[in-house]
């Protein structure tokens, strides 16, 4: 037991993983080809064998929806709750030269957390996995149990994860508070951009209409301007962090671009944010706030954290693609930080995603990544 009640509660959550019987799934829509139907039936059978109950129709209590939509006319799936993960399943007419460029728009248009772009190739297609962070990797096989095991192993982390993306805003922050901290955070965002470590996502505004774009922002807590995030400790219980989706190279407004995280409520899995009363529509904090919160509370020596969609050689890496903003990913990264020779100056890789780097301050982190971090993240199945 620690002396921090919220930390004890989240440790209790971690010790009680989601059981497959508590993670129902549903299939929405139908494949257009016999090969697509065989794929869906094989994945469905594998999920049932793992113990996931099946809902005839997706609803608020469904953990994962296999949303099958048309390549010619993709339709969005509008779930009732952000806690429902959606896997968009799209059958490609042929194998494109650039898998990411071809498949990513369908991930966005279907409003999915993960895309399965089914590339034709025999009796069963090869699913190409597409993530919102522009990850792309493929599973090939012949329809054997091992093939569907490999597919399920990449689907299960969504079904068995718990999101922490709710924000509770408390309008009690004085105007002009912590100007030194916020100035340092803004400067660090500019430095990330100068190093080429703020890759822009696909232009969501060009792919979606206003209604769908609002839905994407609400569900995924993304704004479409830049990836990555950074934070700076304020004191024992709070830290400043970049908001979700804002241009990290141009953060100027407290309460919109930069947010003060003051707590975590494990009962409703929400981050507590202190904002100025004058900010009518505050920004949402980065989905990785729970990960930063865990690291700061477990390691008092950590004074700053940078997460970049970049890579460095010989880093210790997570082995499971848990979704961003989940208790499971946060705990995995925090455990790897704890296992590092020097947790206060750790570099942890997130498989198919990027780097989380801790340091006593932001200058120390930049001294270690400048000239060493590459903007391309290696992809692996």
Calculate Rg over the CA atoms of the chain: 21
| Residue 10 domain flag | no
Which pLDDT tens digit goes with each residue over 172-193? 999 888 999 999 999 999 999 9
User: Residues 153, 187: one domain?
Assistant: no
Dihedral sign for Cα atoms in the order 333, 338, 343, 348: negative
139 and 233 inside one domain: no
* CA-based torsion, 143, 87, 76, 213: positive or negative: negative
- Beta 85-91 vs 64-69: how paired, if at all? parallel
CATH number of the domain encompassing residue 118: 3.40.50.10300
Task: Answer whether residue 224 shows pLDDT above 50.
Answer: no
pLDDT at 142: 73
Number of domains forming the structure of the chain: 2
| Phi–psi pair at 9, nearest 5 degrees | -65, -40
Residues 341 and 363 in one domain: yes
Categorize the per-residue pLDDT at 90 as very low, low, confident or very high, splitting at 50, 70 and 90: very high
Among residues 159, 181, 211, the one where a domain terminates is 159
For residue 95, being part of any structural domain is answered with: yes
Q: Are residues 39 and 57 in the same domain?
A: yes
- What number is the average pLDDT over the span 71-80? 87
Contact indicator for 229, 307 with CB cutoff of 8 Å: yes
CB atoms within 10 A of CB 12: 10
Long-range contacts of 329-336 (CB under 8 A, 24+ apart): 329/161, 329/291, 330/164, 330/288, 330/290, 330/291, 330/293, 330/294, 331/14, 331/294, 333/291, 333/294, 333/295, 334/291, 334/294, 334/295, 334/298
Where residue 285 falls among pLDDT bands split at 50, 70, 90?
Answer: very high
B/e letters for 79-95, b = 16+ CB within 10 Å, e = fewer, are beeebbbbbbbbbbeee
Q: Is the pLDDT of residue 220 over 80?
A: no
Concatenating the DSSP letter of every residue in 211-271 gives HHHHHHHHHH---SS---EEEEE-SSS-EEEEBTTS-GGG---BTTTEEEEEEEETTTTEE
Point out the domain boundary residue: 128, 159, 190: 159
Choose between 10 and 279: higher pLDDT.
279
Q: Give the SS3 label for residue 151.
A: helix
Percent above pLDDT 70 for the chain:
92
Q: Could you read off the pLDDT of 103-146 as tens digits, one per residue?
A: 988 888 888 889 999 999 777 899 999 987 778 888 887 778 89
pLDDT for 20-44, tens place per residue?
Answer: 999 999 999 999 999 999 999 999 9
Residue 173 and residue 144 in one domain: no
**Cβ count near 221 (within 10 Å):** 24
Mean pLDDT of 157-161: 91
Per-residue model confidence (pLDDT) at position 161? 92
Domain CATH code at residue 250: 3.40.225.10
User: Other C-beta atoms within 10 Å of 41: how many?
Assistant: 13
Question: pLDDT tens digit string along 2-20?
Answer: 567 777 777 887 888 899 9
At a CB cut-off of 8 Å and minimum separation 6, what does 64 contact? 23, 24, 25, 26, 52, 84, 85, 86, 87, 155, 158, 159
User: What is the spatial distance between Cα 116 and Cα 129, in angstroms, rounded to a whole number?
Assistant: 5
CA distance 64 to 159: 6
Nearest to 9 by CA among 298, 328, 269: 269
The yes-or-no verdict on residue 162 having pLDDT over 60 is yes
Higher pLDDT, 357 or 219: 357
pLDDT at 318 over 80: yes
Q: Rounded to whole angstroms, how far apart are CA atoms 91 and 117? A: 6
For residue 335 the two structure tokens come to 């455990």
27 and 118 together in one domain: yes
Q: Which of 55-59, 93-97, 104-108 shows the lowest per-residue confidence on average (mean pLDDT)?
A: 104-108
Of 41-55, 79-93, 132-146, which one has max mean pLDDT? 41-55
Task: Say if residue 215's pLDDT is above 70.
Answer: no
Q: What is the mean pLDDT of the chain?
A: 89
> How much is the pLDDT for 100?
85
**pLDDT > 90 fraction of the chain, expressed in percent and rounded:** 62
Q: Is the pLDDT of residue 333 over 90?
A: yes
What average pLDDT does the segment 332-349 reach?
97
Average pLDDT for residues 276-302, to the nearest whole number?
94
Q: Determine the structural domain holding residue 225 and report its residue range.
A: 166-369
Can you tell me the distance from the alpha carbon of 77 to that of 107, in angstroms, rounded to the nearest whole number?
11
The verdict on residue 5 lying in a domain is no
Query: Does residue 225 surpass a pLDDT of 60?
Result: no
Asked if the structure places residue 375 within a domain, the reply is: no
Q: What is the mean pLDDT of residues 201-211?
A: 63
């Amino acid at each position: 037991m620690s002396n921090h009640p919220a930390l004890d509660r989240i440790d209790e959550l971690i010790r009680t993983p989601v059981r497959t019987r508590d993670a129902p799934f549903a299939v929405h829509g139908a494949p257009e080809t016999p090969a697509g139907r065989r794929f869906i039936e094989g994945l469905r059978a594998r999920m049932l064998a793992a113990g996931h109950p099946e809902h005839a129709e997706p609803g608020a209590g469904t953990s994962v929806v296999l949303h099958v939509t048309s390549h010619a006319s993709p339709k969005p799936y509008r779930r009732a709750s952000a806690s429902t993960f959606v896997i968009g399943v799209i059958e490609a007419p042929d194998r494109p030269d650039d898998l990411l460029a071809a498949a990513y728009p369908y991930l966005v248009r279907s409003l999915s957390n993960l895309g399965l772009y089914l590339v034709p190739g025999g009796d069963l297609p090869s699913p190409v996995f597409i993530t919102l962070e522009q990850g792309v990797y493929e599973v090939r096989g012949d329809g054997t149990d091992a093939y569907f095991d490999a597919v399920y192993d990449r689907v299960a982390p969504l079904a068995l994860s718990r999101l922490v993306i709710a924000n509770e805003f408390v309008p009690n922050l004085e105007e002009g508070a912590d100007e030194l901290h916020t100035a340092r955070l803004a400067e660090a965002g500019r430095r990330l951009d100068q190093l080429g470590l703020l890759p822009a996502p696909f232009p969501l505004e060009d792919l979606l209409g206003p209604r769908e774009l609002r839905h994407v922002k609400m569900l995924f807590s993304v704004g479409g301007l830049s990836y990555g995030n950074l934070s700076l400790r304020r004191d024992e219980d709070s830290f400043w962090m970049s908001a979700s989706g804002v241009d990290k190279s141009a953060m100027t407004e407290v309460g919109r671009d930069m947010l003060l995280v003051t707590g975590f409520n494990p009962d409703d899995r929400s981050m507590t944010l202190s904002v100025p009363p004058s900010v009518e529509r505050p920004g949402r904090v980065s989905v990785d706030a729970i990960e930063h919160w865990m690291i700061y509370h477990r390691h008092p020596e950590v004074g700053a954290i940078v997460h970049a969609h970049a890579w460095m050689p010989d880093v210790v890496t997570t082995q499971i693609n848990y979704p961003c903003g989940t208790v499971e990913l946060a705990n995995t990264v925090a455990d790897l930080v704890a296992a590092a020779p020097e947790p206060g100056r750790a570099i942890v890789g997130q498989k198919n995603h990027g780097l989380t780097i801790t340091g006593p301050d932001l200058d120390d982190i930049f001294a270690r990544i400048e000239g060493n971090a590459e903007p391309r993240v290696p992809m692996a199945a």
